[in-house]
Amino acid sequence: MSGLFHFARIVFSSIPLIIISVLLAQSPAAPVKYEPSEVEQLRLQLAAKDAQIAQIQFQNAQYVFQQAIARLHAEADKVKAEHKWPAEVQFKPETLTFAVPAPPKPPVPEKKPLEKKP
């Protein structure tokens, strides 16, 4: 019996070590750090600045475009006033033409299903 007792004592005394080993093996590893080199970091910063500059230029171009569209519509209003055209005359900036919009079409009446006679 002493051999069996000795074996059981070794097994039961090893259980905490086994559990700790398993828990440590399952614990998440430290996150891997992915860091660019100094030169790569500088290239990324340069590309980010280029993107910011392009965004500012785009916003400025949008502003200039909106101003040009406003001037176009103001000029169209002057032409309309010089000719004393009625208020319903509209300017079409795509074609630089003026026209009265077509009246809306009346709604199409719904068709009712025919009733069967008995």
Q: Report residue 50's pLDDT band, with 50, 70 and 90 as the boundaries.
A: very high
Task: Please check whether residue 10 lies inside any domain of the structure.
Answer: no
SS3 category, 48: helix
Structure tokens at 11: 């097994």
Residue 51 lies in a domain: yes
Residue 78 within any structural domain of the chain: yes
The reply to whether 44 falls in a domain is yes
Choose from 8-17, 27-36, 75-84, 100-109 the range with maximum mean pLDDT.
75-84
Nearest to 98, CA basis, from 81, 117, 110, 116: 81
The answer as to whether 85 is a domain residue is: yes
> Which of the four pLDDT bands, split at 50, 70 and 90, describes residue 103?
confident
- Residue 42's SS3 state is helix
What is the count of structural domains for the chain?
1
Segments forming the whole domain that contains residue 64: 37-101
Residue 23 placed within a domain: no
Q: Does residue 22 lie in a domain region? A: no
Nearest to 93 by CA among 79, 81, 114, 107: 79
**What would the two tokens of residue 99 be?**
């026209």
Say what the pLDDT of residue 76 is: 97
Nearest of 61, 89, 62, 63 to residue 76 by alpha carbon: 89
Does this model's pTM top 0.85? My answer is no
Residue 106 lies in a domain: no
